[in-house]
């Protein structure tokens, strides 16, 4: 996405408010969204509202497509999926008008919001601002369809699951908004999913870097690419609940974090597959060819391992099971091309991750992860550590249990989560 342009224009504060599917699930909730938008405008702000499709609508639309053709064309999938936001956007504009306000709705191609042509997972290249600014200058609320854009050939594109977050943050960056508010069905960002871990604690703030890790590792509150944009353009993001007036969680830079702590939280990424190619000739080209293939398939992998045994090597990595269905035929062909002796695939796994700044610098954190899970006889494999997180694979059936165990072991329910050393020779904590 190109860098945001600065418009001196109006001196009124500009707010971008994004509402997810549960926030616009029915007409009464859409009326609530309209009230929130109007209240902000009447307080002296310019307001841009970004909405998702009504809850469950995108799944319904994609389900229809798969009834017609088991493997639908990606371009046509985008045409179908984008209609969900078309409905909710127009309904939201009408609800604002019904409450005495003025509003104008925009679909992705009407702004336009320019993207590449990677159907079902397009990336934003440019956000045109003129039409939105004209509407705001006339005292209207701009209501924008999330999740969608248009490519250079005027094809409708969608941004992938959670794409409305991307739309909202990209608009906030391009418009130079004072804040981007992400309204969800939870009250902010928690140390762990409170639906799985009741002791999960809401954070007052979290750094962009930590949130990026959590989002990339399965936390569903924010789409990972939206966090990337927020961090790149330093967009103030406030994640808060639609149905409460409580303050939520702010995304901030490391330097301005409100809470000094080592650990931020836990995330789980379910339905992971582990792929291992064994018996490969030891040659630098092999890894390059594999990564190029995955890049061509637009597939992201994690927990990548390269192990040498004499003159041969094995390469293993994880990827979402849904991606495996697309990648497996190409991987099997690559096995023949590379002369690998076997390809082994394990499914039904969950990647459990502990996130916090400086995790790598304290080896006792990894030690406690392993010890805590071992006590409950939960095997963990493919452990990987970097500066911001520790990740490992567990059986999917025990993932929720592992999350609760680690949350308790690291005392994440406390405002200051810390790491202590073993208290006795046996290594008990």
| pLDDT per position as a tens digit, 173-222 | 999 999 999 999 889 999 999 889 999 999 999 999 999 999 988 888 89
Going by DSSP bridges, is the β-strand pair 46-51/141-145 parallel, antiparallel, or unpaired? parallel
Identify whether the C-beta of residue 119 lies closer than 8 Å to the C-beta of residue 77. Answer: yes
Average pLDDT of the chain is 89
- pLDDT range class, residue 301, cuts 50, 70, 90: confident
- Do 173 and 37 fall into the same domain? yes
Among candidates 184, 185, 157, 196, which has minimal Cα distance to 78? 157
**Pair 136, 21 in one domain:** yes
pLDDT of residue 328: 81
Residue 152 falls inside a structural domain = yes
Asked if residues 233 and 173 have their Cβ atoms less than 8 Å apart, the reply is yes
Same domain, residue pair 181 and 270: no
Q: What is the pLDDT of residue 261?
A: 57
Span 119-153, pLDDT tens digits = 999 999 999 999 999 999 999 999 999 999 999 99
| Phi, psi dihedrals of residue 57, rounded to the nearest 5° | -70, -40
Is the residue at 372 inside a domain? yes
pLDDT band at 424 (very low <50, low <70, confident <90, very high): very low
CA distances from 27 to 59, 80, 116, 198, 235 (A): 19, 22, 34, 31, 31
49 and 176: one domain? yes
Q: Is residue 40 part of a domain?
A: yes
pLDDT of residue 8: 47
What pLDDT was estimated at residue 291? 79
The CATH number of whichever domain residue 403 belongs to comes to 3.30.2130.10
Q: pLDDT grade, residue 367 (50/70/90)?
A: very high
Whether the per-residue pLDDT at 159 is higher than 50: the answer is yes
Q: Residue length, the chain?
A: 429
pTM: 0.83
pLDDT at 426 over 70: no
Specify the pLDDT at position 290: 75
Q: Which two tokens stand for residue 249?
A: 């969680």
Same domain for 46 and 171, yes or no, is yes
The Cα 178–Cα 237 span in angstroms is: 9
Considering the domain architecture, whether residues 144 and 278 belong to the same structural domain is answered as no
In a domain, 178, yes or no: yes
374 vs 328, higher pLDDT: 374
Instruction: For residue 210, tell me if it sits in a domain.
Output: no
Which pLDDT value is given to residue 14? 98
- Compute CA distances 368 → 170, 353, 379, 421, 422, whole Å: 39, 13, 14, 9, 9
Mean predicted confidence (pLDDT) in 222-245: 94
Q: Which residues are annotated as a binding site for ATP?
A: 18-21, 184-185, 190, 195, 220-221
Residue 304 belongs to domain spanning:
266-409
| Region 410-424 average pLDDT | 63
Residue 422 has a pLDDT of: 44
- Please give the Cα distance from 83 to 256 (Å, whole number): 40
Name the domain boundary from 139, 168, 185. Answer: 185
- So what's the pLDDT on residue 416? 57
Q: What is the mean pLDDT of residues 339-360?
A: 88
Portion of the chain with pLDDT greater than 70, in percent: 93
Predicted confidence band at 7 (pLDDT cuts at 50, 70, 90)?
A: very low
Domain boundary at 167, 185, 203, which? 185
How confident is the model at residue 364, as a pLDDT? 87
Query: Beta strands 342-355 and 141-145: pairing type?
Result: unpaired
Q: What was the pLDDT predicted at 256?
A: 57
Which residues, other chains included, contact 106 with Cβ-Cβ below 8 Å and sequence gap of 6+?
89, 131, 132, 142, 143, 144, 145
At 17-65, the pLDDT tens digits run: 999 999 999 999 999 999 999 999 999 999 999 999 999 999 999 999 9
Interstrand relation of 14-19 and 179-184 (parallel, antiparallel or unpaired): parallel
Task: Over range 335-348, report the average pLDDT.
Answer: 82
The total number of structural domains in the chain stands at 2
Residue 43 lies in a domain: yes
**Together in a domain, 75 and 181:** yes
Instruction: Give Cα 147 distance to the centre of its chain.
Output: 13
Report the candidate in 196, 191, 197 with the shortest Cα–Cα distance to residue 210.
191
Q: What is the pLDDT of residue 10?
A: 53
Sheet of 124-127: strand order equals: 124-127, 113-115, 148-150, 156-158
pLDDT at site 427: 36
| 285 and 396 housed in the same domain | yes
The model's confidence at residue 80, banded by pLDDT at 50, 70 and 90, is: very high
**Whole-angstrom distance, CA of residue 251 vs CA of residue 231:** 9
CATH number for the domain including 75?
Answer: 3.40.1160.10
| Residue 425, pLDDT above cutoff 90 | no
Same domain, 272 and 180: no
Q: Which segments are annotated as binding site for substrate?
A: 58, 85
Contact at 8 Å (CB) between 337 and 361?
no
Name 311's Cβ contacts closer than 8 Å, sequence gap at least 6. 281, 282
Quick one: pLDDT at residue 255? 60
Residues 38 and 173 in one domain: yes
Better pLDDT: 291 or 248 = 248
Per-residue pLDDT at 231 exceeds 50: yes
Note whether 271 and 132 are same-domain residues. no
Say if 368 falls within a structural domain: yes
Tally of CA atoms within 13 A in the half-sphere of 186 that contains its CB: 20
Annotated binding site: 18-21, 58, 85, 184-185, 190, 195, 220-221
Both 180 and 277 in a single domain?
Answer: no
- Given 133, 163, 185, which residue is the final one in a domain? 185
Separation CA 293–CA 277 (nearest Å): 14
Quick check: is 275 in a domain? yes
């Amino acid at each position: 996405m190109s860098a945001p342009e600065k418009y001196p224009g109006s001196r009124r504060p500009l707010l971008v408010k994004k509402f997810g599917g549960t926030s616009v699930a029915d007409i009464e909730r859409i009326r609530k969204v309209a009230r929130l938008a109007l209240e902000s405008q009447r307080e002296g702000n310019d307001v841009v509202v970004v909405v998702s499709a009504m809850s469950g609508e995108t799944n319904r639309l994609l389900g229809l497509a798969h009834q017609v053709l088991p493997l639908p064309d990606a371009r046509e999938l985008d045409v179908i999926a984008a209609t969900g936001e078309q409905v909710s956007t127009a309904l939201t504009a009408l609800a604002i008008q019904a409450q005495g306000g003025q509003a104008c709705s925009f679909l992705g191609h009407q702004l336009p919001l320019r993207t590449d042509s990677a159907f079902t997972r397009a990336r934003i290249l440019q956000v045109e601002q003129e039409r939105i600014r004209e509407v705001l200058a006339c005292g209207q609320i701009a209501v924008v369809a999330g999740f969608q854009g248009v490519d250079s050939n005027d094809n409708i594109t969608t941004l992938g699951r959670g794409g409305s977050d991307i739309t909202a943050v990209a608009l906030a960056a391009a418009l130079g908004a004072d804040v981007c508010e992400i309204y969800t069905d939870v009250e902010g960002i928690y140390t762990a999913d409170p639906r799985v871990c009741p002791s999960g604690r809401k954070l007052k703030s979290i750094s962009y870097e930590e949130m990026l890790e959590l989002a990339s590792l399965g936390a569903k509150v924010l789409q990972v690419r939206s966090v990337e944009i927020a961090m790149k353009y330093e967009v103030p993001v406030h994640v808060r609940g639609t149905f409460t007036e409580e303050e939520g969680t702010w995304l901030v830079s490391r330097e301005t974090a409100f809470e000094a702590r080592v650990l931020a939280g836990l995330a789980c990424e379910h339905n992971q597959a582990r792929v291992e190619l064994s018996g490969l000739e030891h040659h630098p080209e092999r890894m390059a060819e594999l990564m190029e293939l995955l890049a061509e398939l637009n597939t992201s992998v994690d927990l990548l391992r390269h192990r040498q045994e004499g003159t041969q090597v094995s390469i293993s990595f994880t990827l979402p099971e849904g991606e495996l269905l697309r990648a497996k035929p190409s991987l099997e062909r690559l096995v023949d091309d590379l002369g690998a002796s076997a390809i082994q695939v394990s499914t039904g796994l969950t990647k459990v991750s502990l996130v916090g700044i400086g995790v790598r610098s304290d080896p006792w954190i990894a030690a406690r992860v392993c010890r805590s899970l071992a006590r409950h006889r939960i095997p963990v494999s493919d452990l990987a550590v970097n500066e911001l997180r520790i990740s490992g694979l567990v059986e999917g059936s025990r993932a929720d249990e592992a999350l609760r165990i680690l949350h308790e072991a690291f005392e994440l329910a406390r405002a200051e989560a810390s790491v202590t050393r073993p208290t006795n020779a046996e290594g008990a904590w």
